[in-house]
């Protein structure tokens, strides 16, 4: 088990977390992996994610350390983002139970629960006149992240948190086990926006804001993003229902 030194006082509680997980907190996501919001003994509101047992060969690869498990990446990457001024929930612990053969069982990543109250899922059926400022702010935020050499490879509606106050819009990214660090060119940077959903105009406004902030040609950025977006959502809707009017 790895623990952020700031939360060492929760060591005993974290050790028991795998055994107690099903009885703790509130489930907020339950598919292949499960997310729970839990109040820790010291009153800290935490987000605990249980990763399912990896399939077949991946279980061996992760168990032998050939590749880092998702939960371990989720624990180590926040420090790199926070050092670059990219907001993400503070990590608390990574827990790695193993069976008698030394193979990984379910693994756990625990972080502080973000206080930002919105995700981009809310833009799915947004009406014109309600999202323009958000689109501009999101484009500039994404440009800042890419200029700081951080590329989120799962930059999707549920992984971008936001809120607005008197100082403007605030963003944070979550589910950051798939990241790339290094220079981000126009092709990769624009393609990263392909998973965003909502009205086509919202995507175009975001693309233009992103391009302006990075000094790219706006029309070229829109072309790249829309092309990548059409390919992504065409594939996606073959396998999953789409919860908003899909404009391609």
SS (H, E, C) the chain: CEECHHHHHHHHHHHHHHHHHHHCCEEEEECCCEEEEEECCCCCEEEEEEECCCCHHHHHHHHCCCCCCHHHHHHHHHHHHHHCCCCCCCEEEEECCECCCCCECCEEEEEECCCCCEEHHHHCCCCCCCCHHHHHHHHHHHHHHHHCCEEECCCCHHHEEEEEECCEEEEEECCCCCEEECCCCHHHHHHHHHHCCCCHHHHHHHHHHHHHHHCCCHHHHHHHHHHHHHHHHHHHHHHCCCCCCCCC
**pLDDT at site 41:** 97
What's the pLDDT at 55? 82
Query: What is the pLDDT confidence band of residue 98, given thresholds at 50, 70 and 90?
Result: confident
Give residue-wise pLDDT tens across range 194-247.
Answer: 999 889 999 999 999 999 999 999 999 999 999 999 999 999 988 888 877 777
pLDDT at position 154 over 80: yes
Please report which confidence band the pLDDT of residue 101 belongs to, taking 50, 70 and 90 as the band edges: confident
pLDDT digits (tens, 9 = 90+) for 21-61: 999 999 998 988 999 999 999 999 999 999 998 887 888 88
Residue 134's pLDDT band (boundaries 50, 70, 90)?
very high
The pLDDT, as a whole number, for residue 53 is: 87
pTM for this one?
A: 0.90
């Amino acid at each position: 088990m790895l623990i952020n030194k700031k939360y060492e006082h929760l060591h005993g509680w974290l050790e028991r977390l795998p055994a107690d997980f099903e009885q703790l907190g509130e489930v907020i996501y339950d598919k292949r992996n499960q997310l729970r919001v839990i109040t820790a003994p010291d009153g800290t509101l935490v987000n605990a994610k249980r990763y399912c047992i990896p399939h077949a060969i991946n279980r061996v690869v992760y168990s032998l350390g050939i590749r880092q498990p998702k939960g371990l990446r989720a624990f180590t990457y926040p420090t790199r983002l926070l050092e670059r001024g990219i907001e993400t929930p503070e990590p608390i612990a990574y827990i790695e139970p193993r069976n008698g053969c030394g193979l990984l069982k379910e693994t756990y990543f625990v972080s502080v629960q973000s206080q930002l109250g919105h995700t981009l899922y809310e833009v799915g059926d947004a009406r014109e006149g309600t999202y323009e400022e958000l689109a501009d702010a999101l484009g500039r935020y994404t440009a800042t992240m890419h200029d700081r050499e951080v590329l989120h490879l799962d930059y999707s509606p549920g992984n971008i948190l936001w809120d607005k106050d008197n100082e403007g819009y605030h963003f944070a990214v979550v589910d950051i086990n798939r990241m790339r660090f290094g220079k981000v060119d126009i092709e990769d940077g624009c393609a990263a926006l392909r998973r965003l959903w909502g009205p086509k105009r919202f995507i175009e406004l975001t693309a233009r804001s992103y391009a302006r902030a990075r000094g790219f040609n706006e029309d070229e950025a829109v072309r790249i993003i829309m092309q990548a977006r059409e390919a992504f959502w065409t594939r996606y809707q073959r396998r999953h229902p789409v919860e908003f009017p899909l404009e391609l």
